[in-house]
């Protein structure tokens, strides 16, 4: 037996795989698909719970990456198990989309400006009112530019840092750096 053939046999390969033409039809064995909910048969309650969990993951990852421009609809939790299975796949697809997108800190041209302003303001989790978070947002500012996050997480000191910057970027579109007059001057952006 040749050395090459003995290496193939040791590796668990047969030499017939090497001589079969590429055009030959081969039976493809697919790995068994995982059940939707960890059980052989899913109940509607289990699928609803799975959809809720997936949506929560999508929203959390979107906020953590500062991708607030991605709008997410509420999850559809009513319907048959087949409709809930489709809803589950919709949210799996959205999770993959959010994972694929570059985070705000990799795409925002003013990211360094915001980090400079943050360096002269409070910690990202600064809870001392009337200003909260790393960019020191008051309640009116949070309600105007980050109402969705205010409703979901509470005050800005509970928001992920990239979400705080994304909300500040919303305000920048309307007001520039004027809400941070002293620190923006210190950073040379105002």
Phi, psi for 137 (deg, rounded to 5): -95, 135
Whole-number pLDDT of residue 61? 97
State percent of the chain over pLDDT 90. 74
Q: What is the pLDDT of residues 66-106, one digit of tens each?
A: 999 999 999 999 999 999 999 999 999 999 999 999 999 99
Local structure of residue 157 (DSSP, 8 states): G
Q: What is the pTM assigned to this prediction?
A: 0.74
3-state secondary structure of 43: coil
List beta partners, residue 23. none
Whole-number pLDDT of residue 190? 86
What is the pLDDT confidence band of residue 129, given thresholds at 50, 70 and 90?
A: confident
């Amino acid at each position: 037996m040749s050395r090459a053939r003995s290496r193939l046999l040791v590796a668990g390969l047969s030499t017939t795989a090497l001589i079969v033409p590429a055009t030959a039809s081969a039976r493809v064995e697919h790995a068994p698909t995982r059940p939707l909910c960890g059980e052989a048969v899913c109940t509607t309650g289990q699928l609803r719970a799975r959809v809720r969990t997936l949506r929560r993951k999508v929203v959390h990852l979107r906020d953590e990456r500062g991708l607030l421009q991605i709008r997410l609809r509420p999850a559809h939790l009513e319907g048959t198990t087949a409709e809930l299975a489709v809803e589950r796949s919709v949210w799996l697809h959205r999770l993959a989309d959010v994972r694929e997108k570059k985070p705000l800190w990799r795409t925002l041209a003013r990211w360094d400006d915001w980090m400079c302003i943050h360096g002269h303001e409070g910690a990202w989790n600064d809870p001392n009112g009337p200003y909260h978070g790393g960019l020191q947002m008051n309640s009116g500012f949070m309600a105007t530019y980050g109402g969705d996050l205010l409703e979901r997480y509470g005050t800005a000191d509970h928001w992920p840092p990239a979400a705080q910057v994304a909300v500040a970027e919303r305000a920048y579109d309307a007001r520039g750096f004027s809400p941070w007059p002293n620190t923006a001057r210190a950073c040379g952006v105002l």
